[in-house]
A and B are shown apart, each in its own frame.
Chain A
Amino acid sequence: MRKRVMILFVASLLLITSAMAKTTIVHWMHHSPSRAMIIMEMASEFMNENPDVEIKVQTIPYSEYKTKLLAALAAGSGPDVAQIPATAMEEFFGYGLIRPMTESVATAEEMREKCIDAAIDKLIIDGQLYGFPTDVQTIVLFYNPYLFEQAGLDPYSPPQDWTELLEYAKELTIWEGNKMVQSGLGIEGYEPVIESFMRQAGATFLVSDQEIKIKYEDAQLEGLKFLTDAVLKHKVYVPEFGSRWTGFRQIKEAMVFGHGAMVGSFQVGSHPDLEFRTALPPAHPETGNRSSVLTSWALVLMSDCRTPEIASKWLAFISSPEAQKLWFKDTGELPSYLSVISDPEFADDPLLSPILDSLNYAVPTFSAGWGNPAALLRETAYNSVINKGADPEEALKKAINEINQYLEETFGIF
């Protein structure tokens, strides 16, 4: 009798324990206070809706994120879901590190219909959806209407093409003797900005759709030369002026190109009198092209993920149209769903509407791979011209060779 009671007790204990056991999903993302707050709220909401699921969010400082994720993946102790640069999708797919989303949650066709192509292109591999878009960013122009007015320019008319951009920048630059006291246009060679100018001039980068290799184009040189000439020849900005962000924050710089997410950054910790507006990137004077290079991250399922269906649901939840609105309002991360982009709620917002509009001109970056070879446009091409007086054409060709060497070494093994 006693033995039976014991068996019954142990069996019921096991039953209760297994019933109480929750499905745990470990989620890794890079950290910013506002992002962390939103994701924690979303995790609570998701867990309330799915009481048998536990979401463990680990936010890691951006500077350490890639190294930590890499080490964890190599050790086989990575998370169930994580955000990775969209440029690394193809490479991770090749390594067998990521798995497609569960089809009952989302399919490639469905996402293609609902999202802009530039945000989703790199996330669909072999016709399957491998990631949801997150941290989508384009390049927009930030300008200071007060400094425009001071220089006799219309504060409601940002430059519309390259010619105007340069003219305005020159008008807005102020020197005191040998010292620049106000920069017309902050330029530091950020690679999505360089690539945007190159795209506007007509560059297409890839040799073909089938091959991950880039070609040299005159349009690339035109884009690069426009920016380097603005610094070296027209002197609308000089490296001695310091960080382009600080200059803009301190009302010492009239225009600067950056991601839409800088709206939040400029609103906090800048000069109290800072006023700024946003505008689409000026068009190329001949092509009329306003291309804005889109960079993004992807929310992916790791191949070791034990519960792909529920993990897919979780990722779909945090990147849904409702969630994207929240991300956009609180962190400046751009939406990728057409329904959010055209949401009337943002249409009249003078700061946010040009940023959303830039998505209509968005082009995905040519960059591919965990190492982000597009950075060589800055490191090898732009910096060599600005700092060492290298010939732009030679510097660009060298950068392209190095990019192709990286692409060959990275993707040649697949």
Chain B
Amino acid sequence: MVELSNNSLSKILIAAGLILIILSFFLPYASGEVVYRVVDFSFWGAVNLLPVYIVLLCLFALFLAIGKISFLLGTAVSLLVLNITIIFMRTEWQEVLRSKFFLDFLGIAGYGWWISLMGSVAVLVAVVKLIPDKKRAPYLFILPSLFGVFFLTFFPAMFAFFISFHRWNILVPNKPFVGLANFRKAFTDEYFLRSLWISFKYALGVIPAKIVISFFFALLIYSIPKFKSVFRVIYFLPAVTSVVAISVIWTWIYHPYYGVANYLISLFGAEPINWLGNPEIAIWSVVLVSVWRSVGYSIIIFLAGLNNIPRIILEASDIDGATRWQKVKNIIIPLMKPSLVFVFITSTIGAIQVFTEIYMMTGGNADTKTAVFYIWQTGFNKLQMGYASSMSIVLFAIILVITLVQMRVTKIFKEE
């Protein structure tokens, strides 16, 4: 419940904002070769913008009267979003929606649009001012990050959904709607399905190896306090080194003729191996590098988990005569479940999305073309952004399902 009577500035801002928005309905919103008013914009050519505005304004007045601040905030944000998104509402403009076009729009935007924008901003500021300071402050602090997440992550992801239903070549103005054609193509594309399989193969190699190795080393560092910090730094170094630099160095290590890897195995009489060129083993060679590079990060997570285990429990087990293995099995692992689940899920997501190591070490050759690499190639090489987006959405859905299953399974496991 908000108290409007004590906040005269908000009252003035709301009144001014609403007047500006209503005034804008009589002024041009865009005045290029053709003049457009608010009635000339509509959603998908069906729902006119003016009635939508009127409904929102009525709702705003209603929420103001009943004092529902969260509803007021929602309506104020909707008014602003409505103003900004009119650029997407003219179907003839959609064909040239490049980033430069957004700038061009500012050039042709009419008084009506600017006044409506000012009105929406005034209304939003007034509503924010109505929120009590204590409640408002935390949101204001996270606002810059929220903007970043919205514009750099959430908006592109949503936009990918939109373009996945179009034949979207970024250099061609005409981007026709093709419905589910891109998705149909993705499910029958031999190379995409193969790339998915390669990604899973890679993930199946990386995840267990990474968890087991990093857990083992975390346990060692935890158990032997001497030089703890030194080891922590040593294991973490690959994690902070550039993936590109690591990939270049490992490409040399793997060189079939001059590489250290073949030299080492030759000491045991083994034949030289074409580590990155043989399709049978190339992906596993990359897996090895990825595991080596990323164990340091997981070790830090596991160490944090280990340090959270109450000493008293371990001491009690010592008094009860528990062996080292019993302590690990019955105390440490069960109490480490949150860290294990975190590493398990983040490793899965990261592994399925692998790109840089593949790009740098094999260039997608020798059966190492993972899903993300193939998507990148389709988008930036073949210029088929619509199809590439549909494949990324399929990949997103797969990762989501896997993550949900993982969370469910680990929850059941936890409850046991």
- Please give the residue numbers on chain A whose beta carbons come within 8 Å of chain B beta carbons, in ascending order: 66-67, 70, 73-77, 92, 95, 97, 178-179, 239-243, 246-247, 250, 252, 370-372, 379, 383, 387-388, 406, 409-410, 413
Nearest chain B residue, comparing its CB with the CB of A252: B257
Contact A383–B172 (Cβ < 8 Å): no
Known contacts A74-B170, A410-B383; is-contact A387 B279 (Cβ 8 Å): yes
* Shortest Cβ gap from B73 to chain A (Å): 33
Q: Known contacts A73-B171, A74-B171, A75-B100; is A242 also within 8 Å of B382 by CB?
A: no
The interface residues of chain A lying within 8 Å CB-to-CB of B383 are: 70, 370-371, 410
Residues on the B chain within 8 Å of A247, using CB: 257
Contact B100 A246, beta carbon cutoff 8 Å: no
* Across-interface contacts of A246 in B (CB, < 8 A): 255, 257-258
Q: Contacts A76-B98, A410-B383: A242 and B256 contacting too (C-beta < 8 A)?
A: yes
Q: Complex Cα distance A246/B381, Å?
A: 28
In the complex, whether B338 has a CB less than 8 A from a CB of chain A is no
Inter-subunit contact A388/B279 (CB<8 Å): yes
Smallest beta-carbon distance A231→chain B, Å: 12
- Residues of chain B contacted by A73 (CB below 8 angstroms): 171
Size category of the B interface is: 20 to 34
Q: What residue in chain A is nearest B266 (Cβ atoms)?
A: A179
Q: Across the interface, do B271 and A410 meet the contact criterion of CB distance under 8 Å?
A: no
Distance, CA A387 to CA B384, complexed state (A): 28
Given contacts A70-B170, A179-B271, A242-B257, 20 further A-B contacts (CB under 8 A): A67-B380, A70-B380, A74-B99, A74-B170, A76-B100, A76-B101, A95-B169, A95-B171, A239-B256, A242-B256, A242-B258, A242-B274, A243-B255, A247-B257, A250-B258, A370-B383, A371-B381, A379-B365, A387-B278, A388-B279
User: Is B205 interfacial (CB-CB < 8 Å)?
Assistant: no
Chain A residues with Cβ below 8 Å from B380 are 66-67, 70
Q: Are B257 and A409 in contact (CB under 8 A)?
A: no
Question: Nearest CB to that of A387 among chain B residues?
Answer: B279
- Interchain CB contact under 8 A, A77 and B367: no
Q: In whole angstroms, how far apart are the Cα atoms of A370 and B379 in the complex? A: 11
A96 to chain B, nearest CB (A): 8
CB distance from B6 to the nearest CB of A (A): 48
Per DSSP, chain B at the interface is loop
**Set of chain B residues within 8 Å of A242, measured between Cβ atoms:** 255-258, 274, 277
Say yes or no: A239-B278 contact (C-beta < 8 A), given A179-B271, A246-B258: yes
> Chain A residues with Cβ under 8 A from B384's Cβ?
409
Per-residue contact bits, chain B 373-386, to A (CB 8 Å; 1 contact, 0 not)? 00000001111100
Contacts of B174 in A (CB 8 A): 413
Question: How long is the Cα–Cα vector from A383 to B381 in the complex, in angstroms?
Answer: 20
Q: Which of B116-144 contact A (CB under 8 A)?
A: none
Cβ-closest chain A residue relative to B279:
A387
Residues in A neighbouring B271, C-beta threshold 8 A: 178-179
Sample of 10 A–B contacts (CB below 8 Å): A74-B99, A76-B99, A95-B169, A239-B256, A239-B278, A242-B257, A371-B382, A383-B365, A387-B367, A413-B174
Q: Using Cβ atoms and an 8 Å threshold, which residues of chain B touch A370? A: 381-383
Bound Cα distance A41, B366 (Å) = 42
Instruction: Report the separation of the CA atoms of residues A250 and B99 in the bound assembly, to the nearest whole angstrom.
Output: 50
Question: Are B272 and A179 within 8 A (Cβ)?
Answer: yes
Chain A nearest CB, measured from B172 CB (Å): 6
Chain B residue numbers with a CB within 8 Å of A388 are 279
**Which of chain B's residues have a CB closer than 8 A to the CB of A383?**
365-366
A409 to B365, CA, bound (A): 24
Given contacts A70-B380, A246-B255, A246-B258, contact A77 B172 (CB under 8 A): no
Contacts of B171 in A (CB 8 A): 70, 73-74, 92, 95, 97
A240 touches B277 (CB 8 A): yes
Q: Binary interface profile of B, 339-362, with partner A (CB < 8 Å = 1, else 0)?
A: 000000000000000000000000
Contacts known (A70-B171, A252-B257, A371-B381); A77 close to B100, Cβ less than 8 A: yes
Q: Of residues 239 to 277 in B, which have CB atoms within 8 Å of A's CB atoms? A: 255-258, 271-274, 277
Residue picked from A241, A372, A383, A387, most chain B C-beta under 10 Å: A387
A246 to B279: give the CA distance in the assembly, Å.
21
A292 to B273, CA, bound (A): 34
Nearest-CB residue, chain B, relative to A63:
B359
Least CB distance, B132 to chain A, in whole angstroms? 43
Q: What distance in Å separates the Cβ of A250 from its nearest Cβ neighbour in chain B?
A: 8
How distant is A178 from chain B, measured CB to nearest CB, in Å? 6
A387 lies within 8 A of B101 (CB): no
Q: Considering the chains assembled together, what is the distance between the CA atoms of A113 and B312 in angstroms?
A: 91
Closest CB-CB distance, B141 to chain A, in whole Å? 32
Q: Assess the B382–A410 pair: CB atoms within 8 A.
A: yes
Which 4 pairs, one residue from A and one from B, show the smallest C-beta to C-beta distance?
A: A76-B100, A74-B170, A242-B256, A75-B99
> Chain B nearest CB: distance from A82 CB in Å?
13
CB contacts (< 8 Å) of A239 on chain B: these are 256, 274, 277-278
Tell me how far the C-beta of A271 lies from the nearest C-beta in chain B, rounded to whole angstroms.
12
Contact between chains at B172 and A241 (CB < 8 Å): no
- Least CB separation from B381: chain A residue: A371
- Shortest Cβ distance from B271 into A: residue: A178
Q: Which residues of A contact B98 (CB under 8 A)?
A: 74-76
Of listed A74, A97, A250, A252, residue having the most chain B CB within 10 A? A74
Whether A240 pairs with B100 at a CB distance below 8 angstroms is: no
* Cβ of B167 to closest chain A Cβ, rounded Å: 8
Residue of A nearest to B254 (CB): A242
Q: Are B99 and A77 in contact (CB under 8 A)?
A: yes
CA distance A257 to B384 in the complex (A): 33
Choose from B170, B172, B256, B367 the contact partner of A240 (Cβ within 8 Å).
B256
Enumerate chain A residues within 8 angstroms of B365, measured Cβ to Cβ. 379, 383
Q: Considering residues B257, B272, B273, which has the most beta carbons from chain A within 10 angstroms of its beta carbon?
A: B257
- Bound-complex Cα distance A240 to B254 (A): 11
User: Please, how many angstroms separate the alpha-carbon atoms of A97 and B271 in the complex?
Assistant: 53
Instruction: For the complex formed, measure the closest distance between the CB of B388 and the CB atoms of chain A, giving whole angstroms.
Output: 12
Chain A positions within 8 Å of B366 at CB level: 383, 387
